[in-house]
């Protein structure tokens, strides 16, 4: 009797095991999920579902189907990104027309300097300058020219109750230069690595206002921003965003290309 019971138990276990889904069946569920997500336009999660099929080593058919579908998806994404990049390059070419491109022996990257600011940057006045490099990094500098020593280390731009102020750049640091020209003093402070603290964006956002700037130091110098200064801020932000987007798209395209077999 005990032997008969053991046999029945063994048969029950075998039947239970035979009813357990195979790797191929489990993988098929994920493959169908990927197709469903793809129909909804959710390519990211569709690709994640296809990648998860690797968890089922015995699912040879589903793995091959997943591989082919992933190639199709990545090829479609590649073409979409290439079209987006071509469109962006056209936009960059247009925005670039507002800038002069310069690269001296001291520059690691090509610099974009707004043409209107370039035309106005003569000796004999104090001004701000905004430029962009080919990576899409924006640089702001405050340039003082006068007979007194300001020892300025920061810049505040304002109009009435609204204002924005840069971080401080100590006198004597590599980004805070001072020199003399005849009886005049020249000071240039560069606000790099985010030290503009949103001042360029503030100028662009309030370009329709009569913005003023004060050079903050041992003494102070007040100037009114010219229309070309405000336009330079707006154009610099547009160019910087486009250049960063171009780099991002180029990296995405390179990554997608590695996922598609050579023809």
Q: Is 135 or 17 the better-scoring residue by pLDDT? A: 135
pLDDT band at 25 (very low <50, low <70, confident <90, very high): confident
Q: Is residue 40 located within the same domain as residue 147?
A: no
Q: Is residue 139 located within the same domain as residue 235?
A: yes
pLDDT of residue 132: 95
Domain boundary residue, one of 62, 84, 106:
84
pLDDT band at 10 (very low <50, low <70, confident <90, very high): low
Element (H, E) at 247: helix 227-257
Q: Is residue 211 located within the same domain as residue 184?
A: yes
* CA atoms of 212 and 201, how far apart (whole Å): 15
Q: Is residue 54 located within the same domain as residue 182?
A: no
pLDDT of residue 220: 94
Question: 217-233: per-residue pLDDT in tens?
Answer: 999 999 999 999 999 99
Q: Is residue 30 located within the same domain as residue 64?
A: yes
- For residue 121, pLDDT beyond 70: no
Domain assignment of residue 216, yes or no: yes
Token pair for residue 239?
């160019």
Q: Is 58 or 162 the better-scoring residue by pLDDT? A: 162
Domain assignment of residue 259, yes or no: no
Looking at the structure of the chain, the number of domains it has is 2
Structural domain for 149, as ranges: 98-249
């Amino acid at each position: 009797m005990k032997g008969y019971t053991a046999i029945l138990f063994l048969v029950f276990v075998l039947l239970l095991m035979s009813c357990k889904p195979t790797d191929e069946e489990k993988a098929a569920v994920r493959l169908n999920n990927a197709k469903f997500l793809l129909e909804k336009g959710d390519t990211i999660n569709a690709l994640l579902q296809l990648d998860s099929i690797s968890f089922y080593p015995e699912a040879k058919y589903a793995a091959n189907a997943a591989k082919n579908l992933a190639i199709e998806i990545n090829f479609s994404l590649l073409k979409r990104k290439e079209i987006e990049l071509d469109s962006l390059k056209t936009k960059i070419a247009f925005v670039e027309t507002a800038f002069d491109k310069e690269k001296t022996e001291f520059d690691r990257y090509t610099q974009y300097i707004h043409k209107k600011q370039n035309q106005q940057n003569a000796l004999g006045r104090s001004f701000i300058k905004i430029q962009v490099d080919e990576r899409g990094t924006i640089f702001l500098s405050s340039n003082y020219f006068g007979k007194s020593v300001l020892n300025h280390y920061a810049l505040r731009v304002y109009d009435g109750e609204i204002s924005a102020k840069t971080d401080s750049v100590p006198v004597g640091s590599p980004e805070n230069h001072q020199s003399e020209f005849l009886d005049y003093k020249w000071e240039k402070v560069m606000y790099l690595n985010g030290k503009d603290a949103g001042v360029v964006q503030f100028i662009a956002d309030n370009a329709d206002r009569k913005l003023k700037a004060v050079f903050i130091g041992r003494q102070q110098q007040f100037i009114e921003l010219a229309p070309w200064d405000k336009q330079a801020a707006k154009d610099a932000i547009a160019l910087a965003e486009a250049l960063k987007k171009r780099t991002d798209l180029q990296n995405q395209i390179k990554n997608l290309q590695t996922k598609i077999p050579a023809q």
